Structure formats: structure tokens, C-alpha cells
Amino acid sequence: MKNIAVIGAGTMGNGIAHTFAQCDYNVQLIDVSEVSLQRGLNTIASNLDRMVAKEKITQADKEKTLANITTFTSIKEGVKYASLVVEAATENVALKTQIFKELDEVCADDTILATNTSSISITQIGAATKRADKVIGMHFMNPVPIMQLVEIIRGYNTSDEVTQFIVDLSKKIGKIPVEVNDYPGFVANRILMPMINESIETLYNGVAGVSEIDTVMKLGMAHPMGPLQLADFIGLDVCLSILNVMYEGFKNPKYAPCPLLVNMVRAGKFGVKSGEGFYDYSASKKAEKVAKMFS
């Protein structure tokens, strides 16, 4: 397996492409927009530059990594030779189902289809295809080139062979795979999102301010980043989507998103990517914070 197609050139998609390309896989990065593809490549190049500056890789390593990535705006063309496709599109059930239906039609019969979903049922996604045994979840953490964890989620019909293959592949790209079962939010977000949501509720109820809440969690619980700042980096819209998936999946009110979160997303305050969330992210501040994540 040397050809890996990645669908989506956003934060997660370009990070996944970066990781595979740096491990000498041929990566076909696919997005509907040339602008998004170029932005994704620029992000990869910038992150590689930081690694060169810190002497974690050489300039030759950077150039080789970038040379391993080819871009496409057509799924059919991009996945033509792929042995594995990793979908990293927006966290939306309808969109992911549509993508997997198309992948099932245009990919070779033995191509494995993985999704980077952080909460949506792998069984449900797999049911949109005629190869549910070859559909699996690979939930990478952000920033992908730095974070070691990959949640491996097998659907109801995912085969043992495909699961073991993806576990082994994850290790080959320097990640630590952890197998979890297919329930809303899996493990990472089933624990993380209620904590973030409760932090927002704490702010909403006037118990403390943004910096105070984050400081308590950083100093008192040894978290490297406060939950509100983390929510900004994940994307408040993404947090809302995950909480909605969990609320619908479990029908438990403890997963209902805080009204403050709902209103912030309605107002277009998504966090880092929109320039404003619980914190202000001017261009300079955003660059400084992102740089620290890769230090």
C-alpha cells in the first residue's frame, strides 16, 4: 500500500496528508476547491518549515514530503490508484454518506474506506456502501502531525483483517492506535465534549470568566490547554455538531449543547478559524498560537 487518498484539505485533511506523505506514502489530496487545496498545501509547507527550523527534519525531508502529495478536485480521478481512502470532510452525516456512496462506486473493490469522523456511526456510514466490511473509522487528533493517538473504530460489519491492517498501518506512520467500539462520540469525544459543554455552561451561568475557567483546569487538573481554548481550536461549530450527534444518539439531556454555544455558532463565532470564539484571534495571535502547537 503506497497510494493513500485523503478527502478534504482542511485542518484535519491536510494534517493527515502531511503525516502520510512524511512517512513516504504517495498521497492524493482531494477537495472540491483549488483554493482549499492550495491553502492546505501552504499549511503543510508552513508546518514543515517549523520542523526544519527546530531541526526535527531536514530541508530535503520537507521537499520530499511535499513531492509526495498530488492534488485533485475530482474524487474519481484522485482515488483511481488508492489502496486506502481517508475521508476528512465536514462532520455531517448526509455529506459523509454521499461521499462514501460515491467512493464505493469509483474505488477498486479491495480499497479500504476510512473516515476521520469524531462522532458519527461507522456502521451507519458503512451501510451506505456495498463494502461495509472494508469501512472503518480512523479518528486522528489535531494537530495530526504532532498528536500520537488514533482512535480505531470498527463498524458492526468491519472485518478483523481490515481492522488489524489499519492498526498496523497506524503504527507504521508513528501513531498509537487504540481500538474502541462504535457508539456516539466513541471514547475521546464522549468524555471531552461533555467537559467542554460544562465549561461553557459554567461561563453561561456566570460562575467564572473565560480565562478563570481555563486557568483552573490548566493549573488544577494539569491540562495543557483550558477547555474553552481547546473548543476554539477544535471549532465551536464542530463541538456543536458532535454534541448534537451524541444527544441524538443517546437521547440523554446531559449531552444537550449549552445555549451559549448554540448562539455563538449562529453568530459565526467558530473559534480560531473564524478569528473569534471565546478568545480573540487576530492574524498575528492566531499565527503565534498555532506555532506554539507545533513547537
142 in a labelled binding site: yes
Q: Which residues contact 287 (CB under 8 A, 6 or more apart)?
A: none
**Considering 151, 170, 197, 241, which one is annotated as catalytic?**
151
Rg (CA), the chain: 19
Q: In what order do the strands lie in the sheet with 149-154?
A: 69-72, 26-30, 3-7, 84-87, 112-115, 135-140, 149-154, 176-180
9 in a labelled binding site: yes
13 in a labelled binding site: yes
Amino acid at position 100, single letter: F
Q: How many CB atoms neighbour CB 182 within 10 A?
A: 19
Return the axis-axis angle of helices 259-266 and 236-250, rounded to nearest 10°.
Answer: 130
208 in a labelled binding site: no
CB 210 within 8 A of CB 278: yes
Please indicate whether residue 139 is annotated as part of the active site.
yes
128 in a labelled binding site: no
2 in a labelled binding site: no
Amino acid at position 54, single letter: K
96 in a labelled binding site: yes
34 in a labelled binding site: no
**Considering 14, 189, 199, 241, which one is annotated as catalytic?**
189
**Considering 14, 36, 47, 139, which one is annotated as catalytic?**
139
Separation between Cα atoms, residue 111 and residue 104, nearest integer Å? 9
251 in a labelled binding site: no
Q: Where are the beta strands (DSSP E) in the chain?
A: 3-7, 26-30, 69-72, 84-87, 112-115, 135-140, 149-154, 176-180
12 in a labelled binding site: yes
**Considering 3, 36, 83, 118, which one is annotated as catalytic?**
118
Please indicate whether residue 118 is annotated as part of the active site.
yes
Please indicate whether residue 181 is annotated as part of the active site.
no
Count of all residues that appear for the chain in the document: 295
Closest by CA position to 72, among listed 23, 106, 38: 38
Environment class of 35 (CB within 10 Å of its CB; exposed 0-12, middle 13-18, buried 19+) = exposed
- On the CB side of 181, CA atoms within 13 Å amount to 1
Closest by CA position to 200, among listed 239, 228, 242: 228
Please indicate whether residue 189 is annotated as part of the active site.
yes
Per the annotation, binding residues for NAD(+) are 8-13, 31, 91, 96, 118, 142, 273
Q: Which residues are catalytic?
A: 118, 139, 151, 189
Per the annotation, binding residues are 8-13, 31, 91, 96, 118, 142, 273
